[in-house]
Amino acid sequence: MKYRIAVPLGMVSAFAFLSCQVSGAETSFESFTLRETRGSSCEVMPVGAAGWSAAREGETQKAGTKGRTGARSSFVAAFDEQNRFRLLPGTEVVIRTSTRDPKFSRVVSLNLERGGVDVDLKAFPKGYQLKVQTPTAVCGAVGTAFSVRSDRRESNRIECREGKVFARSAEDGSFSVSSLAAGQTLDAELAPGKENSHSRLRTEGGDLAVALGSSEARVTLREGSVVQLAQQRADSTSHVAMKIERGRVDNSAAGRYVVENGVVKNVSGDERLSSLVDDYVGLARSEGATRSELEVARARGAPAAELARARSRLDAAAAAASAKRAELFTREEIRRPVREGLEMDRVRPTTIPR
């Protein structure tokens, strides 16, 4: 099983993460051996050490160790002969294990602060889980081969080569995909804010069932579709604004839509409601970008005054987006037809494959 995870250089995972999971000769995974060091800047910080030291081929390190590479360096951390991962150039990662998850005998976590890793698992033990944490989404393997790349904090590209992959936002319930099949790709730009979240999804390689706002409300993004979503930042919400840029969602073409209590309504023909959808989607995206700026400032140790200004900008952006959300979803033109169930299609539930 091989896949790649990458996150932007200099970016710290502050409040959301991407988790790629694979469950599969027992190796304890409490230690790993350094191999194939390339370049002049391969370093480790062992458990309990106060600083970094050069990574040397053949030495063994315990779980809890940090590893990092320079812009032109890389090295392999091997749990055994069949399960390993490579730190790509410009990476910093912490390797941890845990037995606290009741669903798994052991969880191996690669916590990326920046950069990326290539993971190769040929014989991962049954009942174990490998988790890679990066900035903004959660994805996991149901099958055998996939890749994930994040060139910016908000950006995630998930490609399934074999088997199946599931994916979701880590911060809230703004979207989830139960089954990304072989040959399919999902580009997900995720921008969770303080009170609202924005997502932009693009599909390739076939139709894709996606839950919006909660796991109970699912639609089908047709091949090649591009859609933007805005919602309250929450694990589950009954209100989602949807802007279809290209393609179709179920049988709905490009336009403006609202989802309320699992019911989708096309508001493209109403100039006022269409404008409110556009405004809310734009404001939610701005709020997410503002929160990202604050997290970047925190990560680099910005002065207190700069952080205070960033928090103030975030508060203002959140207030503006939340006010627009309230205006949109309290409009009588939306609420009356939704209650009566007129001129709308109820979202169909989708069974999640196991």
Report the pLDDT value the prediction gives residue 54, as an integer from 0 to 100.
Answer: 92
Classify 183 as helix, strand or coil: coil
Report the pLDDT value the prediction gives residue 157, as an integer from 0 to 100.
Answer: 77
Report the alpha-carbon distance of residue 259 to residue 173 in Å, rounded.
14
Side chain identity at 106, as an amino acid letter? R
Which of the pair, 342 or 94, is modelled with greater confidence? 94
* Six-digit token string for 58: 């053949």
Question: Is residue 145 very low, low, confident or very high in pLDDT (cuts 50, 70, 90)?
Answer: low
**What separation in angstroms does the CA of 242 have from each of 166, 168, 318, 340?**
22, 17, 19, 21
Name the pTM for this structure.
0.74
Q: Is the pLDDT of residue 143 over 60?
A: no
* 200-243 residue pLDDT tens: 999 999 999 998 887 777 889 999 999 999 999 998 888 999 99
User: The sheet that has 218-221: what strands, in order across it?
Assistant: 137-141, 164-169, 175-181, 208-212, 218-221
Mean pLDDT of 55-70: 91
* Six-digit token string for 180: 């990304």
Mean pLDDT of 278-289: 97
Question: Is residue 140 very low, low, confident or very high in pLDDT (cuts 50, 70, 90)?
Answer: low
What 8-state DSSP symbol labels residue 57? T
User: The sheet that has 155-162: what strands, in order across it?
Assistant: 145-149, 155-162, 185-192, 196-204, 226-232, 239-246, 255-260, 263-266, 345-346
Report the pLDDT value the prediction gives residue 118, as an integer from 0 to 100.
Answer: 78
Classify 8 as helix, strand or coil: coil
- Residues of the chain above pLDDT 70, percent: 79
Which of the pair, 276 or 91, is modelled with greater confidence? 276
Which of the pair, 2 or 216, is modelled with greater confidence? 216
**What separation in angstroms does the CA of 351 have from each of 214, 264, 346?**
14, 19, 16
What is the DSSP annotation of 213-275? SSTT-EEEEPTT-EEEEEEESSSS-SEEEEEEEES-BTTB-SEEEEEETTEEEE-TT-HHHHH
User: What value does the mean pLDDT of the chain take?
Assistant: 80
* 315-343 residue pLDDT tens: 999 999 999 999 999 876 665 554 444 34
Report the pLDDT value the prediction gives residue 127, as an integer from 0 to 100.
Answer: 79
